[in-house]
Structure 1
Amino acid sequence: MNILEKIFQAGVVGAGGAGFPTHIKLKGVAEYLLINAVECEPLLETDKFLIRYKSHEIIETLGIIADQIQAKKVIIGVKKKNTREVQALTKAIETLNSRVELCFLNNFYPAGDEQVLVYELTQRQIPPGGIPKDVGVVVCNVGTVVNIYEALHEKPVTHKFVTVLGEVKNPSIIYAPIGTSLDKCIEAAGAATIQDYGIILGGPMMGRIIDKSQLSQEVVTKTTGAMILLPQDHFLFKNKQQDLAQMINRSRSACIQCSFCTDLCPRNLIGHPLRPHRIMRSLSVDRQQHEILKEALLCCECGVCQIYACPMGLSPKSINGEIKNLLGKEGIKYSNSPAQSEVHGMREYRKVPAERLLSRLDLHRYSGKIQEGYACIEAEEVKIPLRQHIGKTAMPIVEVGSVVEEGQLIAKVEEKDLGAKIHASIQGVIKEVNHEFIWIEAGEKVGMQ
């Protein structure tokens, strides 16, 4: 079995984003292999934890991946302020006599955006609407590389390291079986410290909001990176909980066309024709310019325009997201791109300092609180989603009443499909199988080792 087959059999997908199937990403050749070890969202600690504890495995695996795609250069992008992580990687590189290089980035947001990272590490501009392979680059997240290491040793993706922080007693890294309900993760972090809280699933800038009442239904997936508990009246919840009509009406009445959203847009600064202020104007007074709305397809939804730049508290990011969804439903993709612009001459001066962003978000009191080590969850039951990745939903191959072992294949896709296999994350009995998830109840022998 070759490397790509092992990765496919293990069900590896991108651990730090939308979950692109890794066996497909690593097909073909590329000049550069870049590793995103930046973890640019405020507060998050999972990737830094993995670097400290699994640096040897990461560096060893990068050599194997690089040979697979015939990469001439292998570069890890890491923030130079993360001295412990830099030391761990440096030691592993020296021990293994590896050709992996470290590239040190300043502490700005969003340094981990794929297209920003490619420019920072290679000085190559991905074309608007393009992907890293268009410029000879493959990008992987730290968590993905760790999962590839496990796959090469015949271990499928069954668990996830998750940062749980904010209004919890013991902010922690949690090691949870995939399919574990989020309320169990909060219990593992010592329980919530307040009654009236909301949850951001992911980072504070790009994460998804869920209500406290949804906790028992929401579960850990292959792409879950963090849970942040904040008081329900925190402005991040108010900012993210408007519908499209409300956002447009507020924009029509309050947008002053200052263009700060465009001036600080990370994609605009690397030369992409994305102008949030033009989109806002098109929605309010110039709705005939439909081509302007297509620029929203270039938006990475980092939130700089909405949470940091706009002096009126408007919602360019959320509006762009809604436009992308609407255009996607109509099958409209970004095309007819004008010639790529040069990187903006003021880009270095318009990068958003992460520390300033943390203050703007009113999150400083939660920073640096994660305890060393990690806590394991022994799940009594899991509900494993059949769709945890971009592409095709996995098809169940088990029936109610079947006994399964941890790591056993329970849902599959074909290797040619854009999708990933799903494995049991605990030993137990299948209680339910439907088109959304497989429910496993633990057997007597279940336990974390």
Structure 2
Amino acid sequence: MNLIETIKDAGIVGAGGAGFPTHIKLNTKAEYFIVNAAECEPLIETDKYLCRAFADELVKGVMLVAEHLEAKKSVIALKGKYKDEIAALKAAIEKNSAAIEIFEMRTFYPAGDEQIMVQQVTGRCVPERGIPIDVGAVVDNVGTVIGIYNAVTKGEKTTEKYLSVVGEVKEPVMLKVPIGTSIRECIKAASPTVSEYAIILGGPMMGRVVAEDKLIDQQFVTKTTGNIIVLPKDHYLIKRSEVSISRIKHQTRSACIQCRMCTDLCPRFQIGHRIKPHLVMRNVWREDKIETQEEFEKSFGDAINCCDCGICEMFSCPMGLSPRRANQYMKGKLRERGITVERNLNPQVRSSVDLSKVPTDRLIARLNLGKYNGLHAHVCIGLKPDEVFLPFSQHIGKPAIAVKAAGDRVSAGDLVARADDTGLSTNIHASVNGTVSEVTPAGIRIRVS
């Protein structure tokens, strides 16, 4: 098999959160191949650990992908403060005589946004609602590249996941777990310090909040799980996530002072995209009073360019309002009305781009996460669950299609659900040795035996 076929067979997807099938992303040629090792969201430990522990595999994976892409330049981008990680990577680059550049970024959020990273590394601005290949770049996550190396050299499938558990735990831990492991089991391994807790799957800015105990019980590690934050149920971030859109609209009408800080600090605005959250906030209260498509697009069309990074509501707004939620809401309304907003295909970076970056330490303070800052995972623990549940949707696109039935014996690495070739999809493999105990429309459960 060639590289693309090997990646597809292994079921590799973007490990940084989006879950885009990697065999589709890499089926191209590019001038730049950039590895996103910035880990820009506060508290996350995973990519830093992988850079230290698997620097050689990462560098060799970069070389494989860069050769396939015919890339003229290969770059690993991470924050300059990650001294141990940079040292490990430089040693691996020298050992392998690799033509790979280390690009040291400032400590700001969202350094790991791929469009921001592309602008920082190449000086080019990705078009509105575009992707890095539009300007000759491909960006992949650390875990994805290591997975490619393991698939090519060892024939490994995507069956395990490294993730960090942080927050209200005895101490942050790194875990190596079979995909499909219960999130509860991961949290238990980190020894939570509160009996009643909510979680954020991912980072505090863009992660998914799960507050109800019943829903936490239904969460499992997937190919895109990289971090679990354990927080008290009454934490600011948990309470804020529960505010309804109707209340947000009411608050906006009564409290927005049109200071435009949400716009001035917006990362997409700074790279030339047409997005002005303060104008959406000015008009969101009168949504139902706008009759014509033209006026609706004029009032809310900018919302379509929001990347959901959350700076506007978690850091910028002095009134504690929620421009991101307003943008998300209006995106849906634009789709409902069938409004297609024209794209700016040639955005120009603003002169204030480097002055508008949000320092991570200040963001952590604003998020009320200071007590957890500076605590790092120093050991990696392997978990061996009694059963796993493998969702058929662990990626963008169509769910995988089951190829196993209840009662079937499987070994780790066996195909249990194949990619749906009628659209974006990816293979799913057994992550443990055992017996299929259940197949549902949502996924497949395997009991270890």
Report TM bin, short chain: over 0.9
Consecutive unaligned residues in structure 1, runs of 5 or more: 444-449
Partner of 1:422: 428
Partner of 1:195: 195
What is the CA–CA distance in structure 2 between the aligned matches of 1:147 and 1:79, rounded to whole Å? 22
What is the CA–CA distance in structure 2 between the aligned matches of 1:416 and 1:33, rounded to whole Å? 28
CA RMSD in angstroms, aligned pairs only: 1.5
Q: Contact conserved, 1:308 with 1:357, CA < 8 A, in 2?
A: yes
Partner of 1:270: 271
Partner of 1:302: 309
What is the CA–CA distance in structure 1 between the aligned matches of 2:371 and 2:285, rounded to whole Å? 38
Question: How far 1:368 sits from its partner (Å)?
Answer: 2.7
Q: Contact conserved, 2:128 with 2:345, CA < 8 A, in 1?
A: no
Question: Is 1:413 the counterpart of 2:415 in the alignment?
Answer: no
What is the CA–CA distance in structure 2 between the aligned matches of 1:156 and 1:322, rounded to whole Å? 38
Moved more, 427-436 or 287-296: 287-296
CA displacement 1:46-78 (0-9 Å, x = unmatched): 000000000100111111101111111111111
What is the CA–CA distance in structure 1 between the aligned matches of 2:377 and 2:392, rounded to whole Å? 32
Which of 321, 332, 335 aligns to 1:314? It is 321
CA displacement 1:18-66 (0-9 Å, x = unmatched): 1000000000111110110100000111000000000100111111101
Partner of 1:446: none
**Residues 426, 361 of structure 1: CA spacing in aligned structure 2 closer, same or farther, 3 A cutoff?**
same
What is the CA–CA distance in structure 1 between the aligned matches of 2:176 and 2:338, rounded to whole Å? 39
Partner of 1:245: 246
Question: Is 1:402 the counterpart of 2:403 in the alignment?
Answer: no
CA displacement 1:319-359 (0-9 Å, x = unmatched): 222333444566655x4234644322222111100111111
CA displacement 1:254-281 (0-9 Å, x = unmatched): 1111111001001001100011011111
Partner of 1:373: 379
Partner of 1:256: 257
What is the CA–CA distance in structure 2 between the aligned matches of 1:180 and 1:328, rounded to whole Å? 36
Using structure 2 for the length normalisation, give the TM-score. Answer: 0.95
Partner of 2:168: 167
What is the CA–CA distance in structure 2 between the aligned matches of 1:117 and 1:299, rounded to whole Å? 17
Using structure 1 for the length normalisation, give the TM-score. Answer: 0.95
Q: How does 1:20-419 map to 2 (within 5 A)?
A: 20-152=20-152, 153-190=154-191, 192-213=192-213, 214-285=215-286, 288=290, 289-291=295-297, 292-328=299-335, 333=340, 335-338=341-344, 340-414=346-420, 417-419=423-425
Question: How far 1:370 sits from its partner (Å)?
Answer: 2.7
Partner of 1:431: 437
What is the CA–CA distance in structure 1 between the aligned matches of 2:345 and 2:448, rounded to whole Å? 57
What is the CA–CA distance in structure 2 between the aligned matches of 1:220 and 1:360, rounded to whole Å? 29
Partner of 1:447: none
Please state whether the residue corresponding to 1:350 is helix, strand or coil: coil
Runs of 4+ aligned structure 1 residues displaced above 6 Å come to: none
What is the CA–CA distance in structure 2 between the aligned matches of 1:23 and 1:294, rounded to whole Å? 33
Question: How far 1:212 sits from its partner (Å)?
Answer: 4.5
Q: How many residues align?
A: 441
What is the CA–CA distance in structure 1 between the aligned matches of 2:35 and 2:276, rounded to whole Å? 29
Please state whether the residue corresponding to 1:411 is helix, strand or coil: strand
**Aligned sequence identity (%):** 45
Counterpart AA for 1:96: N
**Residues 389, 326 of structure 1: CA spacing in aligned structure 2 closer, same or farther, 3 A cutoff?**
farther
Q: Contact conserved, 1:303 with 1:317, CA < 8 A, in 2?
A: yes
Counterpart AA for 1:373: V
Please state whether the residue corresponding to 2:444 is helix, strand or coil: strand
What is the CA–CA distance in structure 2 between the aligned matches of 1:65 and 1:238, rounded to whole Å? 43
Consecutive unaligned residues in structure 2, runs of 5 or more: none
Q: Contact conserved, 1:47 with 1:143, CA < 8 A, in 2?
A: yes
CA displacement 1:380-412 (0-9 Å, x = unmatched): 011110000001110000011111111110000
Q: Contact conserved, 1:293 with 1:323, CA < 8 A, in 2?
A: yes
Question: How far 1:296 sits from its partner (Å)?
Answer: 1.6
Counterpart AA for 2:7: I
Counterpart AA for 2:318: P
What is the CA–CA distance in structure 2 between the aligned matches of 1:284 and 1:212, rounded to whole Å? 30
Q: Contact conserved, 2:64 with 2:149, CA < 8 A, in 1?
A: no
Please state whether the residue corresponding to 1:348 is helix, strand or coil: coil
Counterpart AA for 1:30: A
Q: Contact conserved, 1:181 with 1:215, CA < 8 A, in 2?
A: no
What is the CA–CA distance in structure 1 between the aligned matches of 2:59 and 2:421, rounded to whole Å? 27
CA displacement 1:67-97 (0-9 Å, x = unmatched): 1111111111111100000001100000000
What is the CA–CA distance in structure 1 between the aligned matches of 2:135 and 2:313, rounded to whole Å? 30
